[in-house]
Amino acid sequence: MKPSHRPAGPVMLDVVAHEITAEEREILQHPLVGGVILFARNYAEPGQLRALTAAIRSVRPGLVISVDHEGGRVQRFRDGFTRLPAMRRFGEAWNADPAVAKAAARHAGFVLAAELRAHGVDLSYAPVLDLDYGVSSVIGDRAFHRDPQVATELARALIAGLGDAGMGAVGKHFPGHGAVEADSHVAIPVDGRSFGEVWAEDVQPFRLLAGELAGVMPAHVIFEKVDPRPAGFSPFWLKEVLRGRLGFGGVIFSDDLTMEGASVAGDIVARATAAHAAGCDMVLVCNRPDLAVQLLDRWHPVVADESAGRVAALRPRAGSMPADPATLAGWAPYCQARDSVLALA
């Protein structure tokens, strides 16, 4: 099969196992597909991961290969990768010495991106910009800090580290998931605060970092005093606030459309339609290959050239960083950064 060089589409989906099947090869050729998100089930060991990403690339060179790889409990690849600390650890380090914390956060971003890129992965959905209110069952120690200014400074350092390895950053979960207890994977969280309260606190890291992010992922949270729809389906939050007031020019990703928090929008086609109409450039359909196929068969969006261009720009920048794990392991800048991260962890 010859690789397809058609532009990336607006759907990010997953694959089932350690290798892609003949059916998955056919699905990846669909013009609506723009990327693949990998999970822990797709990983056995470093060589297998490199073979998997190479196989995906052989089918469709322009696809964006991504993963949720933040550190702490959300790190899909572990054996053979550096165990990155949860982001709260950098917040704790800030309380002792801000300069040390920022340096460690930058090193963590660099290690994260360098290791992923050496295995053929283009993008991680990081950093979490939610604030640590101490109430969210799903955010928890994934957040840097309660103070939006501290969270911003630590995230900025991690973003710079990702950039040192040529990788863009994806801030999540806009406009903020940290103040609600419910987990949007299994419930529909509702935040009862006013727009002014959310703007003054949770939105600030997104506002201050808007020009430094390649992507933003909204929350499946309903801010009931602002809009009856979850933020990821809200033109107010995505178009008026994120694009308009914050001036964000990168890719807006939906959160996973199979999550319970997305169910308010209807079936999978209705969810994708609502997310796209609200301003999402790319919609994620994870862990339900049957729904991914339904979406590809039944959804017929009109994709603006501007949106397609934003997605294409997600691919990492070329650079002098080693392109394979063996060479990376002996590269002095990486080794120094890794030692710094391990010392903090």
- Residues found in the chain: 345
Beta bridge partners of residue 191, listed in sequence order = 223
Catalytic pick from 18, 147, 183, 185? Answer: 185
C-alpha to C-alpha distance for 286 and 14, rounded to whole angstroms: 6
Cβ neighbors of 302 (< 8 A, separation 6 or more) are none
Write down the number of H helices and E strands in the chain: 13, 12
Look up 305 and say whether it is catalytic.
no
Q: What DSSP string describes 185-253? A: TTS--EE---HHHHHHTTHHHHHHHGGG-SEEEE-S-EETTT-SSBGGG-HIIIIIIIIIIS---SEEE
Checking 26-30 for CB contacts under 8 A at 24+ apart, the result is 27/292, 27/293, 27/296, 28/56, 28/59, 28/60, 28/63, 29/4, 29/59, 29/60, 30/296
Task: Give, in order, the Cα–Cα distances in Å from 165 to each of 26, 82, 139, 310, 328.
Answer: 32, 15, 26, 20, 11
Catalytic pick from 255, 256, 276, 281? Answer: 255
Q: How far is CA 177 from the centre of its chain?
A: 14
Residue 17 phi, psi dihedral angles, 5° rounding: -140, -150
Which residue type does 24 have? E
Helix (H, G, I), strand (E, B) or coil at 13: strand
Widest pairwise Cα distance in the chain: 56
C-alpha to C-alpha distance for 201 and 24, rounded to whole angstroms: 43
C-alpha to C-alpha distance for 213 and 109, rounded to whole angstroms: 13
Look up 18 and say whether it is catalytic.
no
Residues catalogued as catalytic: 185, 255
